[in-house]
Amino acid sequence: MTRMPVSPEVATRAEERAAVEAIARVLDAERTAREWIAQAETEAAAREETARAEARAIAERTERRLASVRNAFAVRTARAVAAAADEVAAFDAPHPLNADDTTLAHAAAAALAAELTAAASGRTGESR
């Protein structure tokens, strides 16, 4: 098969048409790429805001939990301090002596008196 010769004018017009079509394809691809980039930027901004909202919610939940722990600790501490204060007050309050207490006190006083009088008379450690 033999090719028919193409005039330079026809070849130039075909090349121009091909060049214009190629430029149009490039411009169309560039426009599509810009649209995709804009869509990706919008989606990224939405994801970023969602992540920030989730982080804020976690921080708020954590702060509430910490406040609850601090409050519980304060309540337990206040109860322990009050109980200790009650014990101190109980020790400070006068207690009436019962018969056993009186007997023990008299025996202790007699033993002390005997020891002191023995020491005064020079008979320490001796029994009568």
Quick: pLDDT tens for 52-98. 999 999 999 999 999 999 999 999 999 999 999 999 998 888 888 89
Please state, in angstroms and rounded to a whole number, the distance separating the CA atoms of residues 7 and 9. 5
In Å, how far from its chain's centre is CA 78?
23
Q: Is the pLDDT of residue 22 over 60?
A: yes
* Average pLDDT of the chain, as a whole number: 89
Name which residue leads in pLDDT, 26 or 122.
26
Residue-level pLDDT at 128: 47
Contacts of 105 (CB under 8 A, 6+ apart): 97
Mean pLDDT of 14-41: 96
Q: Is the pLDDT of residue 121 over 80?
A: no
Is the separation of the CB atoms in 85 and 93 below 8 Å?
A: no
Residue-level pLDDT at 81: 97
Q: Is the pLDDT of residue 125 over 60?
A: no
Mean pLDDT of 39-51: 98
3-state secondary structure of 98: coil
Please state, in angstroms and rounded to a whole number, the distance separating the CA atoms of residues 90 and 83. 10
